[in-house]
Amino acid sequence: MPKVLISDKLSNRAIEIFTERGIEVDFKPGLSPEDLMSIIGDYDGLAIRSATKVTPPVLEAATNLKVVGRAGIGVDNVDLPAATAQGVVVMNTPFGNSITTAEHAIAMMFSLARQIPQANASTHAGKWEKSKFMGTEVYGKTLGLIGCGNIGAIVADRAVGLSMHVAAYDPFLSVERAEEMGIEKVELDELFRRADFITLHTPLIDATRNILNAEAFKKMKKGVRIINCARGGLVDEAALKDALDSGHVAGAALDVFEEEPAKQHPLFGMENVVCTPHLGASTSEAQENVAIQVAEQMSDFLLTGAVTNALNMPSVSAEDAPRLRPYMKLAEQLGGFGGQLAESSIKSIAVSYEGEIAGLNVKPLTATILMGVLRPQLDSVNMVSAPMVAKERNIDVSETKREKAKGYHTLVRLQIVTDKGEFTVRGTVFAGEKPRIVGIDDIILEAELSDFMLFVTNEDKPGLIGALGTLLGNSRLNISNFHLGRREHGSGAVALVSVDEAVPQNVVEDVRHLPSVTNVRALKF
């Protein structure tokens, strides 16, 4: 039975879902890093919010961990490269609090426009400073939207409903999609030049860190108002204070800060600044939604292999997971076979899916093939980390699909190019979910792979099979299966020999010196 640890405060509904699905769950919020490391090795899954820090030491101690589920969007508290290297899938719940966060941004915009927090405090203090709190309408104003994903799109929709002009900067937003939404796609400098209000809805990455800095503020129109309910670090807080002090920026509303919890800050106490303690997702509806989503996603993964909203591997639906399972073994074996034949630096890996398999989500299969190819060189590589490792090593990876496979209901073709040449391996799955190798380069053969094998290429001349069998017998290696293929009579041929135990290197060298043998490799699966 899978076992999950919930280490942050989460709705009880999450516990109920795990239990209903037959997963053992422990609820232990508030663990110190040391306490977390001392127990995390017992768990298959870890459900968190923003408090738990999933660091490399935590991941190193998590010897059984398969998945981290973040109830919310941001995963700044998870070391994603370290999790990927460990083969731990990291999921978030990007839709559960989208409306709540978008509504908070709109509320912050109104708070700025009408100075509602300041007027509230003044009135509670017994003052009646009606003339002091002169506001501005949002009607007809331009809202500059930095990031137009799930949350940004909702903010845009609400702003259009308020009769605002919306100018959005997002590299992934198409002009056609912007037109459908009734907004305008613009470049960043154009947004700075035109916007009366600017709100941010983008993740914190190298490209967006301090996207609002001193230079950016200089490009904005005087009197602009800034709203950040996304991530701390998107705004250079020192530069913002300078722009507020100078009057160039009329006001700012911040729900997130570079360092949290923010109990002291240079912006605190400024009359034209509204601050809230990271309340973007803080509604009862949002908390319930993300708790339900993270529990369902983690349960699906641990029980069926379905992957939803993962940040470091392809998604696999609950419907696709069982359909892919027979092909996962084939993908691993094809990759392992190809990786052990690659004698030098790999330049490119091309995978072709033909026939019935082409209708499936093959991204996980490609990741598995990459893992198999790279593992002979890198023991620690796994299905999750393999695509990243291939990219880091400048290996060109391509994937194609064809509806028909000549002679088979399904065919997977793997081509590997090294600095010394190229070769192709083909495989399929027969009845009973049994993977088979069905071709090497232009040679047809059918072979079921076993734990230990010997791969021999040779000239097609009489006597090799007898000599090879005698040599292995004299070396006390029992042959369990023998698979042969050749191009044509007297031409090149291959042999795949299954044996009961690993072939020692001295035996490999003896085979290499047999007459007509051109190459030999000991394989292990």
Rounded mean pLDDT of 20-32? 96
Question: What pLDDT shows up at residue 380?
Answer: 65
Instruction: Give the active site residue among 104, 201, 231, 413.
Output: 231
Lowest mean pLDDT among 27-36, 179-188, 385-394, 491-500: 385-394
Integer Rg of the chain from CA: 30
Cα–chain center distance at 397: 17
User: Percent of the chain beyond pLDDT 70?
Assistant: 99
Does 187 qualify as catalytic in the annotation?
no
Among 106-110, 301-305, 494-498, top mean pLDDT goes to: 106-110
Helix/strand/coil (H/E/C) assignment for every residue in 268-325: CCCCCEEECCCCCCCCHHHHHHHHHHHHHHHHHHHHHCCECCECCCCCECCCHHHHHH
Nearest to 21 by CA among 2, 45, 42: 2
- 472, 401: one domain: no
Q: Is residue 503 part of a domain?
A: yes
Q: Are residues 392 and 324 in the same domain?
A: yes
Q: Which of 129, 260, 343, 433 is catalytic?
A: 260
- The reply to whether 75 and 28 lie within a common domain is yes
Q: Is the pLDDT of residue 458 over 90?
A: no
DSSP secondary structure code for residue 399 in this structure: E
Helix (H, G, I), strand (E, B) or coil at 144: strand
| List 278, 402, 486, 521, catalytic entry | 278
| Three-class DSSP category at 63 | coil
- What value does the mean pLDDT take over residues 53-58? 96
**Within a domain: 437:** no
Q: Residue for token digits 């997963």?
A: 23
Residue 118 belongs to a domain = yes
Q: Are residues 143 and 253 in the same domain?
A: yes
Classify residue 432: in a domain, yes or no: no
pLDDT at 118: 95
Residue 56 has pLDDT above 90, yes or no: yes
In this prediction, residue 359 carries a pLDDT of 87
The answer to the question of residue 293 being in a domain is: yes
Task: List the helix and strand counts (H, then E) for the chain.
Answer: 17, 22
pLDDT at 489: 74
**Alpha-carbon dihedral sign for residues 151, 157, 161, 167:** positive
For residue 212, what is the DSSP state?
A: B
pTM for the whole structure:
0.64
Q: Stretch 51-79: mean pLDDT, rounded?
A: 93
Reply yes or no: is the peptide bond before residue 314 cis, omega within 30 of 0.
no
Could you list the residue range(s) of the whole structural domain that residue 38 is in? Answer: 3-95+285-304
pLDDT at residue 39 tops 70? yes
Same domain, 139 and 244: yes
Of 99, 248, 86, the residue nearest 240 (C-alpha)? 248
Statement to judge: residues 195 and 46 lie in one domain = no
Q: Count up the domains in the chain and report the number.
A: 4
CA gap 98, 96 in Å, rounded:
6
Give the chain's mean pLDDT.
91
CA distance 76 to 463: 64
Distance (Å, rounded) from C-alpha 450 to C-alpha 501?
A: 10
Residue 455 has pLDDT above 80, yes or no: yes
**Rounded distance, CA 394 to CA 440, Å?**
25
Q: List strands edge to edge, sheet with 3-6.
A: 24-27, 3-6, 45-48, 67-70, 89-91
Kindly write down the DSSP assignment for every residue of 16-46, as one continuous string: HHHHHTT-EEEE-TT--HHHHHHHGGG-SEE
Structural domain contains residue 422: no
* pLDDT for residue 393: 81
Co-location of 208 and 141 in the same domain:
yes
* Catalytic site includes residue 426: no
Condensed to tens digits (0 to 9), the pLDDT of residues 107-150 reads 999 999 999 999 999 999 999 999 999 999 999 999 999 999 88
Sign of CA dihedral 442, 443, 446, 450: negative
399 is catalytic: no
Residue 102 in domain: yes
- Among candidate residues 358, 388, 411, the one where a domain is terminated: 411
CA 176 from chain centre, in angstroms, equals 27
Determine the average pLDDT of the residues in 57-86.
91
**pLDDT higher than threshold 80 for residue 319:** no
Residues 85 and 104 in one domain: no
Angle (deg, nearest 10), helices 12-20 and 284-304? 20
User: What is the rounded CA–CA span in Å between residue 260 and residue 271?
Assistant: 21
Residue among 312, 315, 413, 276 at smallest CA distance from 358: 413
For 225, other C-beta atoms within 10 Å of its C-beta total 25
The rounded distance, in Å, linking the Cα atoms of 351 and 337 is: 14
CA 515 to chain centre: 51
- The answer on pLDDT for 8 being more than 90 is yes
Instruction: Indicate whether 65 and 128 sit together in one domain.
Output: no
Q: Give the Cα separation of 480 and 452 in Å (integer).
A: 10
| Average pLDDT value for residue range 413-417 | 94
- Poorest-pLDDT segment among 30-39, 251-260, 445-454: 445-454
For position 493, what pLDDT does the model report?
Answer: 87
What CATH code is carried by the domain that includes residue 80? 3.40.50.720
Looking at the structure, do residues 117 and 216 belong to the same domain, yes or no?
yes
Does 193 share its domain with 234? yes
Q: What is the CATH number of the domain that holds 349?
A: 3.30.1330.90
- Residue 164 inside a domain? The answer is yes
pLDDT above 90 (res 317):
no
73 and 109 co-located in one domain: no
351-401: per-residue pLDDT in tens?
999 998 888 888 889 988 998 898 887 766 777 888 888 887 889 999 999
> What is the per-residue pLDDT for 490?
64
Query: Measured between alpha carbons, how far is 166 from 186 in angstroms, rounded to an integer?
Result: 10
- Predicted confidence at residue 432, as pLDDT, reads 59
What does the block give as tokens for 26?
């422990």
Position 42 scores a pLDDT of 96
CB 412, CB 372: distance < 8 Å:
no
Q: Closest by alpha carbon to 116, among 256, 234, 274, 239?
A: 274
User: pLDDT tens digits for 248-267?
Assistant: 999 999 999 999 999 999 99
Residue count of the chain: 525
- pLDDT top residue among 523 and 407: 523
